[in-house]
Structure 1
Amino acid sequence: MQSSYSSSTSLDEKSKSSARNPISVRLYKVLGTNYDDPAIREALETVSELYKAPESTTKGKAVEREVKSLAEEDEASMFDLEPKLGGRHALTSSGTAARARKNLRRDAELKLAQGSRQFVRAFQQVDKHLDVLQEHIDAMHVRCDEAQEQLRSTNEACRSLLERAGGLRATRHAVNEQQMAVDAFLSHFALTGEESDLLQSRDIQIDSTFLRAMQKAERIIADSSVLMSGQDGPTKAGVEIIAATSRQVEEGYDKLARWCSLEFRQFVRDALLEVTPLMIEAVRWLRKKPELLSEALSVLSQTRQSTLLNAFMDALTRGGPGGLPRPIEMHAHDPLRYVGDMLAWVHQTIAGEREFLEGLFGVKGERRMVGSVRKFEDSEEEEWIQELMDNSLEKLRYPLKVRVRQTVRSQESCIASYRVANLLMFYNLTMRRTVGEKAGLSETLNEITDEAYKVFMDTVEAQARSLARTILPDDQDAQPPISLLDHTQVLRELMNVYKSSFMGDESQNDLREGFRPILDVMVDAAINMCLSVSDARATQKGDWDGDVFVMNCLTHLLSVVRPYTFAEYKASELQNDIDARAELLITDHFDTILRDTSLSKCISICNAQSSSDSNPDTEPREPLSHIGAMQPQELVLALRAFASWLTSPDVVHPPRLAPLLDRRLAERVHRAALRALVGAYEQLCTEVRRPENRYEAANTILGAQRPFGSLPALRQILGIEEDG
């Protein structure tokens, strides 16, 4: 242990002494250097390449062996470094390493000089090649100069030729411009041979080529005005062009008019036709010549008159193709359908005819609802259309008028007459909105419509006179008679027909005034009949029966007219009359109740006494207890009879009001009479309790019988509430 301690002590001392040695410090620094840096490794590899000798030399092999032996050494700890450093030192101390350390700068400069010499040799080769290239370039320059000389001589030779060619080209261009000007003038101010043949040919055949030729001729005439306004006056060319072209245009217009006339004569097969775009264009051209267009349209008007008349007669007697639809006259037994079918056919024909004419004149039809007012524009096209439509429908007026008039005059029923008259009014208004107010067909429809309404009003007045002559049997009750029910049923049917004829754009005042004459005649006739019958019944059965009869008739009339808004004024009149008569019924019913309750005389005495009390000029009155039915014995009997009446069913269901049709009215009359009865009983009780009337034990008299002098008890018995 002592020896080991001494050895370790000596080793530490040695390492301390080595640390103070500069060579050792440098070695430790070299050995501690890290060679993993890429820059250091690259530098070392460059130096290695510099001193790398060929493998064939002995010196190079020795250096290689030293390097390999150094690489094969293991990395050891710091304690094993000294022996290996001695071996490596031995290696570096060899000749190659020593030479490398000594001559590194010189060897590097020699290496650089060697590389420079290699570059110089390479540049010498390049310089030789550049000399050869320069010789070739010089030779090319010589040849280019020769070529330029030849080109200059060639240019000099061709210049004169080019100048001559340019002059010829300019001359040709001027000639071409003159030729183009002539061609343009001829094409603009002259028709081609083919176009002239189209305008002047006797063959009446119109197509789009003909119309283009016409358009060109019109343009030539318009443009020729320039040739007529020169400083020296009209030119000869302008005069000749206008004269020739105008003659051709006139011949073209004549040809157009003849073609349109021939085409219009073809419109005889169908009642409704469509026009072709070519015909629309032809009519547009003819509008520039109104006299020619008028001649062509007169042919169209005559053709359409005959066509529509024949079509109407076929629809009346023969029907459609194959018998469908069936002939209109097969429904002559049904006046409404017969007249409606004829007017519907005419209306459809009018619509188709207007559509045809609008297409013919190129007028775009407006979109409008059926029956709405057509807005007639103030234009030449609209004038032509209305005139042609009026002429086309001229021959339809007479057969339509004859048949409708015959149907109207043959009607005996006022409902049928009114339906036909309303139908005529509807179509009259619709067609006026289609063909205008001044059209001949509108005048015809106005005439037959007025006649239909006159026939209808005659039937209404005849029915009113017949109703006024109604005589009821003696056993007729207070209900409305059969004649009145039939009359009001006719009135209800008439109002339904009138309501169904609304167009939708009428004001409330127009609706009311439109039916007022009919309503006044029908309702007033019914009221007059009821009043005359009521007077006769009052003579036979009393006033009450006559009043109830009138109330029932008025109530029935009110129930008939009330649902219709245009009859509100008449319903108000009837309601006011019913209310006034109801007040009379209330008074009469109250008097009857007083008689039934035996209080009539008592209430009369009380009323008379109250009147005398209110008059200061009268003498002091006698006490009520001393007057007739108000004496205590008589009053007790009257109150006993009143109490007996309160227990009878007449309090709830009075038989006198049972004949009234309106149960609410009967309830109203009875309730009002019962309230008046309560007021009379209150007056009676008040008078009995007054001291000046000298009743002994007044409360005993009143309290002996129901309602015991109590108004609430009486109201409870009668089933009425106290007035607020």
Structure 2
Amino acid sequence: MSEKNMNSALVRRVNKLLESRVEHDKDTLEALKELSTFFTENTLNSRRNLRSKIERRSLAINEEFLASFREVKASLDDVYQNVLAMNTSVQSMTNRLQVTKAQTSQLIEQTSKLQSESQILTMQQEVANAFIRNFQLTPSELTVLHGSARESPITEEFFSVVSKVQDIHGKCRVLMQSGYQTLALDIMQRMTLLQESALERLYRWTQTQCKNIENERLAPLLIKAMSKLQDRPVLFKYILDEYCTARRTALVGSFIDALTLGESFGTPNPIEMHANDPKRYVGDMLAWLHQVIPVEKENILILVKGCDKTDVSDQVKQALSNITEGLCHPLKSRIEHVISTEAPATVLYSITTLIRFYRAITEQVIPESVLDQTLLDLLALSEKSFLSRLQRETRIALGERAEPPGSDLVPAPSVSRLLSLLNEILSVASIAEDREKDMLQIVSCIIDPLLQEVNETASRLPTVDMAVYLLNCMHQIQSTLALYEYMDQRLERLQAQSDAQIDTLTSEQASSLVAHLNLGSIYTILQGRDQGPLSSIPGMDALSVKEFTNKLEAFLVMPDVLLLPQISLLQSNNHRIITQKRSFEVIGAIYRQLFDACHDPKNLYQNPSSLFSRTPEDLLQTLISQ
């Protein structure tokens, strides 16, 4: 190779080395890193021996690898020998197992059969135990059901056992449907006997303990007992009857104690201490009933709390009626005695309202009971006695003969007495139950004979005195009745009678005014027809007309002079005003007729305006304003 070519090749290598990027060559960097571990001195001798060092190092590494591999091979050989030994052992064991399996196959078959039979027997035992648990009672449960003694107390556990007996009896129906009729019937018969025995024991215990319903400890047990006995209607009824008998006796005793001793021996005082006050006496007795009846009802409801309400509702009402029946005789005898005494009508009516009020409450709690009927009878008796007494007091107040009025024509004292009695009774009736019927009946009982007496008295008086007296009486009656409701029709009738008397009094007053003003002849002439000009008729000439208007003016100055003296005796200012107004309207009407006739040209009055100082409108306005 020429020198030029060698130089060129060397140049290319140098350029290649110069162009290479050693820092990016991973292999080169790893090689340099490994080289730095044994190339520690950068001398000329070290660089010359570098190749040999590298080769020796490579040889050492290969020798180390070979030594390590020999150890691995030795280990693998040992494993191989062990596997061969294990294989030989397994094969030997397999052979022995095959021999043993062949020898024990019959034993295994027998063992499997015995295991199956054991499982069946275990299952049958579990079924038998479950059957016993569900269809039989344990000895302890039988002891609880029958009791260690004949009158041993009933506990919560007893009701659990009774419920279990009833449950077993019900499950027997399912057992019969499953094909075990004979077994089911035997169990049902056994459970029926146990149930009857348990209910008989429960009945005796409940019959003894139901009298202590107030005992909070026994109440839950009694509630459960009555719930169980509800399935035996006869026993259930016997228990309620026994309870009612005991409570009736206790209630009557409490009532007698309240009457004679007072509650808690004198606190409060005995009811009969107030026997001289009929209203309070009757009210206290009825109030005592009002307090105890709800308590008795609550006790019965507690006793049957666990029962079916729809089945025992009628029995509860009947039981409460039986309990309260014992109170009827002592209550009725005392109230009848009070009613039969000569008590005032106001007191009898107060007693009537009390009986009516408490009877309405009793009817809601125990309807159609003996006590309710007793109160109804007492109410009818009290109403009858009240009306009889009221009629008697009315006759006494009116007296045997009608009292003549005095000269002042005010209502007789009997009128005031009766209206005072009426006001006193109506003041009580206005707040009572069913007051409309009572108030109308009371008013009729007093007002009808009163009006008859007033009319009889007035009939013996002169016309004007009669009208004034009747108006005064009507006014006093209306003033009393107007204070109360439901009196509209009665007030309308009284107003119609008052209007008739006002008309009579107006007529008398107008006639008196016509007579004093000499209007009689003028009015008669004005009513005539076809008499020719009025100015030519005697009494209707201009001088007579002027004389009349002068008298009328004098009357307007002092109108009271010509009024009837009885008018001032009217107690009602409204009656006086109406009477005067209507009578003045009569005078005004005649005056208008005369005024129009004088201003009529056909009557030939000269200067008729000079005859009259007022127009009819002015006159009427002046009269009304008096």
- Residue 573 of structure 2 corresponds to which residue in structure 1? 663
Q: Is the 8 A contact 1:467 1:526 kept in 2?
A: no
Identify which of 181, 191, 200 aligns with 1:234. 181
Q: Is 2:154 aligned against 1:179? A: no
- 1:632–1:467 CA distance, 2 compared to 1 (3 A): farther
Q: Is 2:297 aligned against 1:383? A: no
Could you tell me how far 1:240 is from its partner in structure 2?
A: 2.5
Identify which of 552, 572, 583 aligns with 1:673. 583
Distance 1:113 1:363 in 2: 100
Could you tell me how far 1:644 is from its partner in structure 2?
A: 0.6
- Residue 393 of structure 2 corresponds to which residue in structure 1? 463
Distance 1:140 1:523 in 2: 144
- Residue 42 of structure 2 corresponds to which residue in structure 1? none
Distance 2:475 2:217 in 1: 61
Distance 1:686 1:444 in 2: 80
Identify which of 378, 388, 393 aligns with 1:448. 378
Per the alignment, in what secondary structure is the counterpart of residue 554 of structure 1?
helix
- 1:203–1:416 CA distance, 2 compared to 1 (3 A): closer
Distance 2:129 2:378 in 1: 70
Q: Is the 8 A contact 1:625 1:694 kept in 2?
A: yes
Identify which of 243, 246, 250 aligns with 2:192. 246
Could you tell me how far 1:163 is from its partner in structure 2?
A: 6.7
Could you tell me how far 1:627 is from its partner in structure 2?
A: 4.6
- 1:658–1:643 CA distance, 2 compared to 1 (3 A): same
Q: Is 2:446 aligned against 1:530? A: no
Per the alignment, in what secondary structure is the counterpart of residue 566 of structure 1?
coil
- Paired residues for 1:314-713 under 5 Å: 314-362=257-305, 379-436=310-367, 438-469=368-399, 471-472=402-403, 475-502=406-433, 511-536=435-460, 538=461, 542-606=462-526, 608-609=527-528, 613=529, 620-621=530-531, 623-625=533-535, 627=537, 629-650=539-560, 656-700=566-610, 702-703=611-612, 708-713=613-618
- Paired residues for 1:116-155 under 5 Å: 116-117=30-31, 138=76, 142=80
- 1:187–1:639 CA distance, 2 compared to 1 (3 A): same
Q: Which moved more, 1:196-205 or 1:284-293?
A: 196-205
- 1:168–1:654 CA distance, 2 compared to 1 (3 A): farther
Identify which of 241, 251, 257 aligns with 2:203. 257
Number of aligned positions between the proteins? 579
Could you tell me how far 1:279 is from its partner in structure 2?
A: 0.4
Could you tell me how far 1:313 is from its partner in structure 2?
A: 0.0
Distance 1:443 1:110 in 2: 125
Residues 626-678 of structure 1: CA deviation (Å, up to 9, x unaligned)? 55543444333322211111111529998543322222232233223323322
Could you tell me how far 1:532 is from its partner in structure 2?
A: 1.5
- 1:580–1:109 CA distance, 2 compared to 1 (3 A): closer
- Residue 55 of structure 2 corresponds to which residue in structure 1? none
Identify which of 146, 169, 177 aligns with 1:221. 169
- Residue 227 of structure 2 corresponds to which residue in structure 1? 284
Q: Is the 8 A contact 2:410 2:472 kept in 1?
A: yes
Per the alignment, in what secondary structure is the counterpart of residue 500 of structure 1?
coil
- Residue 718 of structure 1 corresponds to which residue in structure 2? 623
Distance 1:129 1:481 in 2: 160
Residues 47-73 of structure 1: CA deviation (Å, up to 9, x unaligned)? xxxxxxxxxxxxxxxxxxxxxxxxxxx
- 1:711–1:136 CA distance, 2 compared to 1 (3 A): farther
Per the alignment, in what secondary structure is the counterpart of residue 326 of structure 1?
coil
Could you tell me how far 1:147 is from its partner in structure 2?
A: 6.8
Q: Is the 8 A contact 1:599 1:639 kept in 2?
A: no
- 1:386–1:628 CA distance, 2 compared to 1 (3 A): farther
Residues 346-382 of structure 1: CA deviation (Å, up to 9, x unaligned)? 1222111111111111179xxxxxxxxxxxx993311
Could you tell me how far 1:717 is from its partner in structure 2?
A: 2.7
Please say which structure displays the higher CA radius of gyration.
Answer: 1
Distance 2:193 2:34 in 1: 104
Q: Is 2:156 aligned against 1:208? A: yes
- 1:640–1:246 CA distance, 2 compared to 1 (3 A): same
Could you tell me how far 1:573 is from its partner in structure 2?
A: 2.0
- Residue 48 of structure 2 corresponds to which residue in structure 1? none
Distance 1:130 1:563 in 2: 136
Could you tell me how far 1:679 is from its partner in structure 2?
A: 1.6
Superposition TM-score, scaled by structure 1 size:
0.72
Q: Is the 8 A contact 2:509 2:564 kept in 1?
A: no
Q: Is the 8 A contact 2:467 2:502 kept in 1?
A: no
- 1:212–1:336 CA distance, 2 compared to 1 (3 A): same
Residues 108-155 of structure 1: CA deviation (Å, up to 9, x unaligned)? 399765325368999979988995896698579656787798789889
- Residue 108 of structure 1 corresponds to which residue in structure 2? 22
Q: Is the 8 A contact 1:305 1:391 kept in 2?
A: yes
RMSD in angstroms over aligned alpha carbons?
Answer: 3.8
Distance 1:119 1:144 in 2: 46
Could you tell me how far 1:564 is from its partner in structure 2?
A: 2.2
Q: Is the 8 A contact 1:217 1:245 kept in 2?
A: yes
Could you tell me how far 1:266 is from its partner in structure 2?
A: 4.4
Residues 18-46 of structure 1: CA deviation (Å, up to 9, x unaligned)? xxxxxxxxxxxxxxxxxxxxxxxxxxxxx
Q: Is the 8 A contact 1:599 1:642 kept in 2?
A: no
Q: Is the 8 A contact 1:586 1:670 kept in 2?
A: yes
Distance 1:154 1:664 in 2: 143
Distance 2:89 2:536 in 1: 176
Identify which of 236, 242, 249 aligns with 1:306. 249
Q: Is the 8 A contact 2:348 2:382 kept in 1?
A: yes
Distance 1:260 1:570 in 2: 64
Q: Is the 8 A contact 2:248 2:326 kept in 1?
A: yes
Q: Counterpart amino acid of 1:390? A: S
- 1:562–1:139 CA distance, 2 compared to 1 (3 A): farther
Gaps of 5+ in 2: 1-12, 38-57
Distance 1:651 1:163 in 2: 152
Per the alignment, in what secondary structure is the counterpart of residue 630 of structure 1?
coil
Q: Counterpart amino acid of 1:234? A: Q
Aligned residues with identical type, % of pairs: 23
Q: Is the 8 A contact 1:335 1:407 kept in 2?
A: yes
- 1:100–1:190 CA distance, 2 compared to 1 (3 A): same
- 1:154–1:586 CA distance, 2 compared to 1 (3 A): farther
Higher RCO, 1 vs 2 (CA within 8 Å, ≥6 residues apart):
2
Could you tell me how far 1:292 is from its partner in structure 2?
A: 1.5
- Residue 40 of structure 2 corresponds to which residue in structure 1? none
Q: Counterpart amino acid of 1:255? A: R
Could you tell me how far 1:546 is from its partner in structure 2?
A: 1.5
- 1:108–1:646 CA distance, 2 compared to 1 (3 A): same
Superposition TM-score, scaled by structure 2 size:
0.82
Identify which of 133, 138, 152 aligns with 1:192. 138
Residues 236-284 of structure 1: CA deviation (Å, up to 9, x unaligned)? x3233222221111110110110111113446xx8x9997111011011
Could you tell me how far 1:500 is from its partner in structure 2?
A: 1.3
